[in-house]
Amino acid sequence: MNDSDALLNQLKEIIQTFQQSLQSHLPALECEINAIITNKVQNKNTIEYNLDVLISLTDMGVGNELFIKLLDYYKTIDAEGASFYWEEYDKKEE
């Protein structure tokens, strides 16, 4: 194994560790998202704050399911606002 292979493997391990760290925070976010949906929270600022957090996590490969779950709920409250987040999410998927 040459130096570039070793560096590549080390970088891969760092990224995997970072993603695992992010994953460890998802249960708390999931509780918050479930509470928003269960309690039928309609405060757009609260929902959009959580969507912003989740869309940032999707950039790093985690939180996609939670983002879509909250977005599905948000479209029942503000279809136009939800459309904006769908478009942003779709841009990231391309």
Domain extent at residue 31: 25-93
DSSP string, the chain: --HHHHHHHHHHHHHHHHHHHHHTTHHHHHHHHHHHHHTT---HHHHHHHHHHHHHHHHTT--HHHHHHHHHHHTTT-HHHHHHHHHHHHHHH-
Write out pLDDT tens, residues 25-71: 788 899 999 999 999 999 999 999 999 999 988 888 888 999 999 99
Write out pLDDT tens, residues 13-28: 887 787 777 777 788 8
Residue 37 within any structural domain of the chain:
yes
Residue 13 within any structural domain of the chain:
no
Number of structural domains in the chain: 1
Residue 1 within any structural domain of the chain:
no
Residue 53 within any structural domain of the chain:
yes
Residue 19 within any structural domain of the chain:
no
Residue 9 within any structural domain of the chain:
no
